[in-house]
Amino acid sequence: MKCVVVGLGEFGRSAALALANGGVDVIAIDKDMMLVEKVKDQVSLAVCLDAAQEDALKMHGIGDADVLLAAIGRDFEAQVLLVLYARKLGIKKLLARATTPDHARILLALGVEEVIRPEEEAARLIVQRMLIPNITSYFELADCFSVIEIRAPLGLIGKSLRELDLRRKFRINLVAIKRTKLDKDGNPKGQSVNPVPEPDESIQANDELALVGSDLDLANFMARVS
């Protein structure tokens, strides 16, 4: 997969490096050479150019990308032009950062598949961590309903899913278990994922649990088992 990330501020740079670390072929673009220099050794290609210039994008073969992330933060006009040019070049999937709700609506109207508001998402995660201890990741399904990943609380270790009866007792569901593998000396050597745990599966120390439910039910559950 080839992904273009335009805008290498904190958000764009983090996204570009995360994609590159995941094995994605990343082209990172910014008009600030200092920001380009910071990522050039960690992505497939780092280019200094003004992405609001259509000819510059064409020159570097941006239209061949599978995904473009428009991560320009401060210059919304440049962000809009980039999205328009990316659509014209035929890029299959467009994602864009928005700094305000109005910007998000405009980007969606222009054909962006997904709008990202990192500050808002970070705030939601902070709130979730305040409400739900041990949370390691969080995905909002709908208002007040989430999928979360937590480190197994002490109150669950050694108990089977049948014994815990999470759906009846807490109105939540466990949808996967991520388990740390240990070598013969007890040292971590990777992880395995069980996406469909059986009722007799027991929770082990260091397990990470993926749970789904309302935010209130998840918070109440953690308060009772932590």
HEC string for 116-137: ECHHHHHHHHHHHHHHCCCEEE
Q: Which of 116, 133, 154 is the last residue of a domain?
A: 116
Residue 186 vs residue 11, higher pLDDT: 11
Q: Do 202 and 112 share a structural domain?
A: no
Given this model, what pLDDT does residue 133 score? Answer: 64
pTM: 0.63
Q: Do 93 and 171 share a structural domain?
A: no
What is the C-alpha separation between 214 and 102, in angstroms, rounded? 28
Q: Do 111 and 11 share a structural domain?
A: yes
Given this model, what pLDDT does residue 206 score? Answer: 85
Within 8 A by CB and 6+ apart from 49, the residues are: 29, 31, 56, 57, 60
Instruction: Give the range of the structural domain holding residue 95, as residue numbers without chain letter.
Output: 2-116
Q: Do 125 and 82 share a structural domain?
A: no
Q: Do 128 and 83 share a structural domain?
A: no
Q: Which of 86, 116, 146 is the last residue of a domain?
A: 116
Quick one: average pLDDT of 163-182?
90
Q: Do 80 and 148 share a structural domain?
A: no
pLDDT at 73 over 90: no
Q: Which residues, listed in sequence order, are joined to residue 6 by a DSSP beta bridge?
A: 29, 70
